[in-house]
Structure 1
Amino acid sequence: MGKLLLTAVLAAFALLPAADPGTPSAPVDRELRVRMGRAQAYADSRPGVTGIVLRDRRTGAVYRNPAAGTLIWACSTPKLAMAVDLLLRDDSGAVTLTAEDRDLMHRMLHSSDDDAAHVLWTRYGGEAEFARRFPAYGLADMRFSDRHPHHWGWILTTADDLDRLIGYVLTRLPARHRHYLVRELRTVDVNQQWGVWGAGEAARPGNKNGWSDDNDDGSWIMNSVGFAGPDERYTLALMNNTQVIRDGDEVGRETTTRIAEILLKGYSGA
């Protein structure tokens, strides 16, 4: 990549203030800046659009690319918000989760089991209950479309939202729930080992992915949100509207996984 092009890419993928009020932005080392430029150049070379938010939880630095605020179908990523909500409602006594409920929650996180998510969504209040609290967990940009059923699978959201959601999991939940969800996301089924998983085994990644070819134009959506690094130092949110119909799932898996690899694989941090 030429020097001028790299400079332009780095400027476009600028360091921005952190999304959480009171959290200062912070400088990063040159290696990570170069990685960010390479990641954005790669994203620009791929079909469709990809929103990217990378957060260093140790330094407070947050990188957002120009598509971080673009609304894209969330697919299965709100299953993580559902788990957060159910755990907190159980704590408050508003609901009492059974052994069956906890098995369903495991299945929707481990292998992204849609049937399990549908049962929990319906059993515990659907849109009226879950959706009114989702913004409190970070999904502030979310909205439904009246062209589709109002449930977890048909929510429009942004990479910014997913960044806030994984941040809520890691910083706001009681420790027992945080440890549970980190363990679940680190041990997902092979069908979810892509996207943030591209950070590499040594980074001990964990993620909740979402994918579907039910985009309005029939193309694939491939999303991934999770963490990597010691003590889950880095969080990464990726939302990829591939705009590819045939083999769009393969295209999206490659796009999101490669971005995570460029950003985090082998990076030890400053």
Structure 2
Amino acid sequence: MEPVTEPAVDRDALLSSAMGKVTVPSGAKVSAAVLDLDSGDSAAYGDSAFDTASIVKVDILATLLLQAQDAGRHLTATEKAYATKMIENSDNTSASELWDIIGKASGLDAANKRFGLTGTEGGDGALWGLTQTTAADQLTLLQQVFGDDSKLSEASRTYLQGLMRTVESDQRWGVSAAADGSAFALKNGWLARSTTGLWDVNSIGRVTVAGTDYLVAVLSKGTVSQARGISLVEAAAKAAVSSFTGADASASASASQ
């Protein structure tokens, strides 16, 4: 008998269907990407570029760690203090200090080229929060942080993962909405654009659902408040994971208008 070949699962189609059940407020946009760390299967929805806001802080620290590896050194006590405040508390002053240390956009872009990011461009001058990225690129970055096939050493990955697991309590929203209990590590970003008053709200991280680890990146822009942005991002994160688990996320995957 001929061996039976299992039909390939169209993960992008499943994610697109799941995202179609997410209520997106008028004028807003959302993009998502998800990867099953066990199987290596991934899916992406939307390819637009978004402002990173504070999720770029993961990229800044990953860049610093890569540069330190290249130099054969450990992070200094000062760098570690900045890194802790930048990831756990989303402290902007600490991010600006490390942004300068890595060489600003040029340093970030050089590291991202090695990490495999193709659609991310560092913000001009001191404006690290206006770095442009895609959900697919953030998924690639998360693979560098949480995957074994990484330019970052095991020690560097463990360090960054640890900080993402211990973000302060009032920032434990976003992709964590898709996790089982407290089984997540994340970094969120939020920014009200001065030109429009509309919000960028993003969330990236790893979540564990029914014993399986997923990397999830959700980017959004154009909501009228941070709260509505959070609602949208959490709905999208649940929908993204549901495209792998088969759970019906439609009941909870809606964002307030």
Give the TM-score normalised by structure 2. 0.79
Aligned to 2:139: 163
- Per-residue deviation, 1:159: 0.6
- Per-residue deviation, 1:95: 6.2
Q: 1:26 to 1:215 in 2, by over 3 A?
A: farther
Q: Does 1:141 align with 2:119?
A: yes
Q: Which residue identity does 1:57 align to in structure 2?
A: L
> More relative contact order in 1 or in 2 (CA 8 Å, sep 6+)?
2
Aligned to 2:31: 51
Aligned to 1:258: 235
Aligned to 1:5: none
Residue aligned with 1:58, SS: coil
Q: Deviations over 1:109-158 (max 9, x none)?
A: 1111110000111234223323322232243212357xx64542121111
Q: 1:99 to 1:26 in 2, by over 3 A?
A: farther
Identity of aligned residues (%): 23
- Per-residue deviation, 1:205: 1.1
Instruction: Verify the 8 A CA contact 1:111 1:189 in the aligned structure 2.
Output: yes
Instruction: Verify the 8 A CA contact 1:56 1:233 in the aligned structure 2.
Output: yes
Q: Which residue identity does 1:64 align to in structure 2?
A: A
Aligned to 1:131: 109
Q: Deviations over 1:150-180 (max 9, x none)?
A: 5421211111110110011122122222222
Instruction: Verify the 8 A CA contact 1:215 1:221 in the aligned structure 2.
Output: no
Q: How far apart, CA to CA, are the structure 2 residues paired with 1:64 and 1:78?
A: 19
Q: Does 1:80 align with 2:62?
A: no
Aligned to 1:7: none
Q: Does 1:234 align with 2:211?
A: no
Q: 1:163 to 1:222 in 2, by over 3 A?
A: same
Instruction: Verify the 8 A CA contact 2:105 2:122 in the aligned structure 1.
Output: no
Instruction: Verify the 8 A CA contact 1:74 1:154 in the aligned structure 2.
Output: yes
Q: How far apart, CA to CA, are the structure 2 residues paired with 1:61 and 1:55?
A: 6
Q: Following superposition of structure 1 onto structure 2, how do residues 56-75 of structure 1 map, counting pairs within 5 Å?
A: 56-65=36-45, 67=46, 69-75=47-53
Q: How far apart, CA to CA, are the structure 1 residues paired with 2:236 and 2:18?
A: 9
Q: Which residue identity does 1:49 align to in structure 2?
A: K
Q: 1:185 to 1:96 in 2, by over 3 A?
A: closer
Q: Which moved more, 1:232-241 or 1:109-118?
A: 232-241
Give the TM-score normalised by structure 1. 0.76
Q: Does 1:192 align with 2:168?
A: no
Q: How far apart, CA to CA, are the structure 2 residues paired with 1:123 and 1:60?
A: 34
Instruction: Verify the 8 A CA contact 2:174 2:230 in the aligned structure 1.
Output: yes
Instruction: Verify the 8 A CA contact 2:33 2:42 in the aligned structure 1.
Output: yes
Q: How far apart, CA to CA, are the structure 2 residues paired with 1:157 and 1:193?
A: 22
Q: How far apart, CA to CA, are the structure 1 residues paired with 2:113 and 2:23?
A: 28
Please, which runs of 5 or more residues in structure 2 have no aligned partner?
1-6, 248-257
Residue aligned with 1:207, SS: strand
Aligned to 1:101: 79
Q: Which residue identity does 1:251 align to in structure 2?
A: R
Size of the alignment, in residue pairs?
Answer: 235
Q: Which moved more, 1:122-131 or 1:217-226?
A: 122-131
Q: How far apart, CA to CA, are the structure 2 residues paired with 1:175 and 1:48?
A: 38
Q: Following superposition of structure 1 onto structure 2, how do residues 164-179 of structure 1 map, counting pairs within 5 Å?
A: 164-171=140-147, 172=150, 173-179=152-158
Instruction: Verify the 8 A CA contact 1:26 1:60 in the aligned structure 2.
Output: no
